[in-house]
Amino acid sequence: MSVRRSLVAVVMAAAVLVLAACTGLPTSGQVYAGRDAAEQVESPDFSFIPDRPQPGATPEQIVDGFIRAGSGPAGEWARANLFLAPGAEWDPWATVTVDVQGSREVVEVEPATASPDDTHSTVTAEITPVANVDNRGVYSPSESVVASTLPFQLEKQPDGEWRITEAPDGVVLDQNLFTTVYRHYSLMFFDPTWQFLVPDVRWFPRVKVASTIATQLAAGPAEWLTGAVGSGFTDGTLVTSSVVTSNVADVALSVDAQTLDTETIDRMQTQLTASLAAAGVSEVRMSADGVPLTASIVPVRSTTVAAAPLVLTETDFGFLGGDALVPIPGLSDAMMSVTPAPVSAQMSPDRDFAAVRLEGGGVSRVEARGDVVPLDTRAGLIDPTVDAFGYTWSVPRDSPSGLSAYDPTGVHIDFPTAWSNATQISAMALSRDGTRLVALLTGGGRTSVWVAAVVRNADGVPQSVGVPIVLSESLAAAGGVAWLDGATVGVLGSSGSEPIVLEQPIGGPSIETDAPASSATIAGSNQATTVRLRGSDDTLYVKRGTNWQPLATGIRLLATQQGTPQQ
């Protein structure tokens, strides 16, 4: 086989932080007095110090300043509290409304002159929400981008200055500022077989984030993941405090943790260690009612895949390396014997089988030992997806509720309530830990990216598919979807008439980039920056910096991987 390779250019780009949308002073790091030099205070990489209320400010200016002060979470939003009257109650943790700042309008609807004593005023802020983050850090895009109104009550204080007496709970951040003030963190749970760690993406302000992560981890997964993941933190086991010193987190648990068995304590330790790593924590020490808990990290299966692309050419199937393919024992020969030819393939983690969609229709299981087992013969099938427990998932394009999972013998489990509100499904992909199923669905004239939890028993047998949640509704058309890492999918679609790749976190704002005009299929690797595309002209593309570069030609099929063999 001859595969033409292109030279790889490494492009490095400098990131520019644009702060034009914010009023206030940006600072890098913070200064704290009265602490030992060895103690590390949880501080953000970048934080804002919003403006204080200005003397003589009008009611509208006070409300506008208060909303802008939502960008400063330091000191429990200390600057925002300066805009409140004494005794006023406001909970900034309740919610985050992500809006389009350019459409924001603050209006005094009941001027002070209308009040008999000229000391009361009613002001409204009209905003256009695009997303919401709840009090547990769960991000949800708005169902529709329409304006909403926030009411504020103000009173003139004895010093003659206006202050807010009643304000809606939560903060408002424009979409350009949101990812600067808040950051996404993965809370790690287990799959039902206790083999994999499963990320549950949350958004928290960057101050005191280790404490927030530990507390929310103990509180359990997001509602849509309930039943699909497990946790060492049982009902009643709470985090009472979390202090970080020199990258070591001391996590205090409620007294009932003293009665837990060693296996459960070890799982808690594993979850905390993995979840807090993104907050700069390198070691976790747990205690219960002041008593240290002895714990170890439990072994888990990796969801990484081989770095090399997995492809089918006219003469071979295997990993692309150098000027030749590296074959997969047994499976490469089996794949080359399949007739009619496969048009899609996904390989199991242990590389003992691949699920394929055939050129003439139908989904089959290709075994490394040479057997080809027909699984689904229904018409109009989309590309199948496989899991680490030996199941192949298949569904007809025009019947989303016809989703079925096939075991190695062809016995299938049906999920008639899955995607019940959709009229068409273009593509789907299981996460490598088997707990989440993402799909590109059409309904009501719109194509959207959805995800649902997959509920399994302790042996990994699928039991049900949960209620789906929408991730993005920005696609004009959809072509394919692949997992880029444990918490992000890549979507090949179009925005208008141009092809795009949508980098979509499982709970977060998406990033849209242009794609080569001929793009037909997509495959992920181990991080979002290593996405691969195959063109309709059999060219394989990889992304280098902001540009797509041809890597090889003669690629008839770009396959996806679901993990690596267990060691």
What are 360-376's pLDDT values in tens digits?
Answer: 899 999 999 999 999 99
Distance of CA 108 to the CA centre of its chain: 39
Which tens digit of pLDDT belongs to each residue from 158-191? 999 999 999 999 999 999 999 999 999 999 999 9
Indicate the domain borders of the chain. Answer: 47-180, 310-561
Structure confidence at residue 102 (pLDDT): 83
Which tens digit of pLDDT belongs to each residue from 266-283? 999 999 999 999 999 999
Which tens digit of pLDDT belongs to each residue from 389-430? 999 999 999 999 999 999 999 999 999 999 988 999 999 999
In this prediction, residue 113 has a pLDDT band, given cuts at 50, 70 and 90, of low
Structure confidence at residue 555 (pLDDT): 97
Angle between the 209-219 and 262-276 helix axes, to the nearest 10 degrees?
140
Which tens digit of pLDDT belongs to each residue from 321-364? 888 899 999 999 999 999 999 999 999 999 999 999 999 899 99
Structure confidence at residue 27 (pLDDT): 36
3 state SS of 497 = coil
Neighbouring residues of 338: CB distance < 8 A, sequence distance ≥ 6: 356, 358, 364, 366, 372
Pick the CATH number of 310-561 from 2.120.10.30, 3.40.50.2300, 2.60.40.1840, 3.20.20.70: 2.120.10.30
Residue 79: phi, psi to the nearest 5?
-65, -40
Q: Is 76 left (phi over 0), alpha (psi -120 to 50) or beta?
A: left
Measured CA angle at 362 (ends 358, 364), to 5 deg: 75
First to last CA, the chain: 31
Q: Are 193 and 462 in contact (CB under 8 A)?
A: no
Residue 36, Cβ neighbours under 10 Å: how many?
Answer: 7
> 47-180 has which CATH code?
3.10.450
In this prediction, residue 36 has a pLDDT band, given cuts at 50, 70 and 90, of very low
Q: Edge to edge, what strands does the sheet with 139-141 contain? A: 139-141, 129-133, 96-99, 171-174
- Span 297-308, mean pLDDT? 96
Which tens digit of pLDDT belongs to each residue from 61-112? 999 999 999 999 999 999 999 999 999 999 999 999 999 978 899 999 877 6
Structure confidence at residue 497 (pLDDT): 80
Q: Are 3 and 324 in contact (CB under 8 A)?
A: yes
pTM: 0.89
In angstroms, the CA 452 to CA 469 distance is 6
